[in-house]
Amino acid sequence: MIRWLLRVLTVWLAVALVVPAAAQEADAPQLRVDFPEDAAIPGQPLSLRLTVLVPTFMPKPPVWPSFEAPNLLVRLPGRATNPTSERVNGETWAGVSRRYTISPMVPGSFTLPPQDILITWQDPETGAPRESRLPTPPIAFSGEVPEGAEGLDPFIAAADLTLTQEIEGELAMVPGNSLTRRLTVEVQGVSPMFLPQMLEPAGLPGLAAYPDAPQLSETEERGLVSGSRTESITYVAEAGGGGALPEVRLEWYDIDDGAVKTATAEALTLEVDGPPPERDAPRDWRLLALLAGLVLLGALALFAVLRWLLPVLRARRQDRQARRLASEVYAWRGLQRVIARRDHQALRPALDLWAGRVAGSDPRRAPEVEAALLLLGAARYGTASGAAEQGWAKDWAGLQRALSQARAAAAVPGRSFALPPLNPGRA
């Protein structure tokens, strides 16, 4: 009896735990993936529709993946995203649907890896917003070239394609005239970005080519993509000459007729009436080699001269610098700067340096210099303060005059200085 009660209790607990979990699982958001076809001709679209359903509503729009990948053209057609609803477990769930068109650009196999869709929805129990991530499954498909179109390079498949050629200008030209060749390809059922380059500038004598940038135009109407590509080159006549502009052939696969077709723009012949362009004289390689050798020899000679000359110039410069520093003029200028600063401590060293470089008699023995130095010393070490300080300027000026006179006297050959008086006094 006890064992039976224990078994009943265990079963009851299991059911109590499983039912809420199942109910919670049943209320979780759901993702529907609709991918009816898994193969397409390169350039033609495959339709992928993703539908997100929730039991309540979504206060924010879902964040969808882009599915961008190499060699794939992924687009959102007009009105790609729409609200929807669906019956789930007998209840109406709200949702949002998004449609992609995916076109393989080259033949081969492709797989879109799983990507998350981020949704924000209202929790049915708490009423609070929740975020959930719904991963998409791997989506595999292929681009397949139809039978009979294996030789197309590049491969172009369209419902319709037309090639139109326009010529602006005369085929018979004279220098100064111009002609524009313009090709326009119009396609239906494929994007014009699949169209290749059609025109290449032709190197014709007497003509200069000026290509314009290609112009692409694309439209979409009720899910059908169409568009055009326009290229043009302008040829300007510069001298007599001319030549042929080649035919342009564009092979493409008609998806409606299931056959390979060819669009053609006929060739053109241009003629320029005038003197032929001047030809450049042939290059004299021997002369060029000789010139190159002379340049090399000149460079080596210059290097040798500089290698010898630079040390000589450097030594001369150092010698001039040393002579300048050892000159009487340099010492005199230093003494003048000391006097201008009224620097008592630097006066004696500067005076001795200058006197040692003066030719002839020692200027320090000039009576006026010695008298000026005594006055300056008395003014500095005397007891008077205010009056002495006011007299310093006169004493420095007197020293300046005495030194200038002594320098001028030293420049006179045979001139000597007399001894100073025994008791010099202030004037």
pLDDT digits (tens, 9 = 90+) for 349-386: 888 888 888 887 788 888 888 888 888 887 777 655 55
Taking residue 136's Cβ as centre, other Cβ atoms within 10 Å add up to 18
The answer to which of 174-178, 251-255, 347-351, 406-410 has the lowest mean pLDDT is 406-410
**Boundaries of every domain in the chain:** 29-128, 157-272, 328-410
pLDDT at 17 over 60: no
d(CA 108, CA 143): 5
Structural tokens at position 227: 């568009």
The confidence score (pLDDT) of residue 334 equals 87
197 pLDDT higher than 80: yes
* Inter-CA distances, 113 with 50, 65, 116, 142, 292, Å: 15, 11, 10, 14, 62
Instruction: Please give the structure tokens belonging to residue 365.
Output: 């023995």
pLDDT at 370: 84
- Which of 17-31, 110-124, 216-230 has the least mean pLDDT? 17-31
If you compute the radius of gyration of the chain from its CA atoms, what whole number of angstroms results?
Answer: 51
The listed CATH number (2.60.40, 1.10.287, 1.25.40, 1.10.150) that belongs to domain 157-272: 2.60.40
Confidence at residue 5, expressed as pLDDT on a 0 to 100 scale: 40
- Does residue 392 have a pLDDT over 80? no
Give residue 71's pLDDT band: very low, low, confident or very high (50, 70, 90): very high
- SS3 string of the chain? CHHHHHHHHHHHHHHHHHHHHHHHHHCCCEEEEECCCCEECCCCCEEEEEEEEECCCCCCCCECCCCCCCCEEEECCCCCEEEEEEEECCEEEEEEEEEEEEEECCCEEEEECCCEEEEEEECCCCCCEEEEEEECCCEEEEECCCCCCCCCCCCCEECEEEEEEEEECCCEECCCCEEEEEEEEEEECCCHHHCCCCCCCCCCCCEEEEECCCEEEEEEECCEEEEEEEEEEEEEECCCEEEEECCEEEEEEECCCCEEEEEEECCEEEEECCCCCCCCCCCCHHHHHHHHHHHHHHHHHHHHHHHHHHHHHHHHHHHHHHHHHCCHHHHHHHHHHHHHHCCHHHHHHHHHHHHHCCCCCCHHHCHHHHHHHHHHHHHHHCCCCHHHHHHHHHHHHHHHHHHHHHHHHHCCCCCCCCCCCCCCCCC
382 vs 249, which has greater pLDDT? 249
pLDDT at 114 over 80: yes
**Tokens encoding 81:** 């995203």
Token duo for residue 115: 């990507």
- Given a cut of 60, whether residue 12 has pLDDT beyond it is no
Average pLDDT of the residues of the chain: 84
Q: How far apart are the first and last CA of the chain?
A: 145
Give the model's confidence band at 108: pLDDT under 50 very low, under 70 low, under 90 confident, else very high.
very high
Residue 303 pLDDT: 86
CB 42 within 8 A of CB 105: yes
Could you give the count of Cα atoms lying within 13 Å of 218 in the half-sphere of its Cβ? 13
At 414, the pLDDT band (50, 70, 90 cuts) reads low
C-alpha distance from residue 401 to each of 93, 304, 339, 354, 390 (Å)? 114, 55, 11, 16, 18
Q: Which residue has the higher pLDDT, 5 or 299?
A: 299
